[in-house]
């Protein structure tokens, strides 16, 4: 049988994000690895911060067939992303703004938020919308 028949719930493909710290406070929060050690380079040469971004065609950081990877990695695109993960997450709008977990969660998956809330994303504005559509707090688990 195929996956759709076995699993009636929607499958989300991309980089897995761990929300267990919302259930168990002793669980270590794992930070987003996008922009630090999880870039993805597609066969066509397009570069994205992590595998979850591959479906956001409008936000390609660059193309290794057109420019050096180091220039892409050190460029404005990755700088916006890294700044958001490190400090600018504090400016996230939406439900996250009132959440007591924001300083540890940081809005979780930027890519999933962009895919959920933006039809024509533009950096850096699109980074600030929350929450992650898979956040357990949305499902009132905690």
What's the rounded Cα separation, in Å, for the pair 133 and 120?
Answer: 18
Residue 41: Cβ within 10 Å count: 16
Q: Could you tell me which of 69, 56, 61, 60 has the C-alpha nearest to residue 14? A: 56
The DSSP element (H or E) to which 112 belongs, if any, is: helix 110-117
pLDDT at 22: 64
User: Which of 75, 112, 107 has its CA nearest to residue 94?
Assistant: 107
Q: pTM for the complete prediction?
A: 0.71
Bridge partner list, 63: 46
Spatial separation of the C-alpha atoms in residues 142 and 81, rounded to whole Å: 28
Rounded Cα–Cα distance for residues 54 and 63 (Å)? 13
Among 40-44, 63-67, 116-120, top mean pLDDT goes to 63-67
Calculate what percentage of the chain has a pLDDT beyond 90.
18
Domain boundaries, the chain: 33-139
The end-to-end CA distance of the chain, in Å, is 34
């Amino acid at each position: 049988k195929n996956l759709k028949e076995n699993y009636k719930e929607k499958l989300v493909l991309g980089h897995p994000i761990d929300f267990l710290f919302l259930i168990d406070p002793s669980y270590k929060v794992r930070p987003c690895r996008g922009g630090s050690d999880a870039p993805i380079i597609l066969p066509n040469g397009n570069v994205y911060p992590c595998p979850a971004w591959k479906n956001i065609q409008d936000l390609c950081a660059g193309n290794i067939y057109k420019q050096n990877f180091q220039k892409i990695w050190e460029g404005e695109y990755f700088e916006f992303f890294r700044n958001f993960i490190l400090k600018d997450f504090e400016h996230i709008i939406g439900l996250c703004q009132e959440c007591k977990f924001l300083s540890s969660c940081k809005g979780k998956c930027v890519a999933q938020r962009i895919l959920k809330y933006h039809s024509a994303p533009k950096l850096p504005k699109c980074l600030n919308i929350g929450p992650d559509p898979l956040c357990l707090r949305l499902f009132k688990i905690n």
